[in-house]
Amino acid sequence: MKLLLLTISLLTFSAYAEEAKKNTHPTREVSIIVTKEGYYPKSLSVFEGEKIKFYVTSTVEEPNCLIVESHKVFMAANKGKVSEAEVVFDNPGEFAFYCPSSKNDGKVVVLKKFSPKREVASDKGEAQVWMPKEY
């Protein structure tokens, strides 16, 4: 009975660990401040596949917001309060963020993640073996 419970526990943990590995994205935290002049910073650069955690606040009394419509992010930006939201940008490109009430706008530039192509000696067909010059 103990062996059965141990086996079930190990299988459950193994399945959970695999699922957690698939859903893990590196996280980048970004702070955006709404000022009289607009968003600061006005442009962000991130890599595809990263989870972006937005922190938004305002320095002005008027109500503001931050909307990334393409990724369903809708955040209030109020003076003295910090709003939080998370989103994953899976595809490279430029994505606009804005606030219709204050006419502020900016963009998130999602860069393609570079993954170098690695060559392995065993993939070249023949194994290359070093031989002394005498042979």
Question: CB–CB of 54/77 below 8 Å?
Answer: no
* C-alpha count within 13 angstroms, C-beta hemisphere, residue 72: 1
- Residues whose CB is less than 8 angstroms from the CB of residue 81 and which lie 6 or more positions away in sequence, other chains included: 57
User: Domain spans of the chain?
Assistant: 24-111
> Is the per-residue pLDDT at 14 higher than 60?
no
Tell me which of 2.60.40.420, 3.40.50.1820, 3.40.190.10, 2.40.160.20 is the CATH number of domain 24-111. Answer: 2.60.40.420
Calpha distance 13→90 (Å, rounded): 28
> Global pTM?
0.65
Could you give the 3-state DSSP secondary structure of residue 84?
strand
Average predicted confidence (pLDDT) for the chain: 79
Please give the radius of gyration of the chain, using alpha carbons only, rounded to the nearest integer: 25
pLDDT in tens, 29-77: 999 999 989 999 999 999 998 899 999 999 999 888 888 888 888 988 8
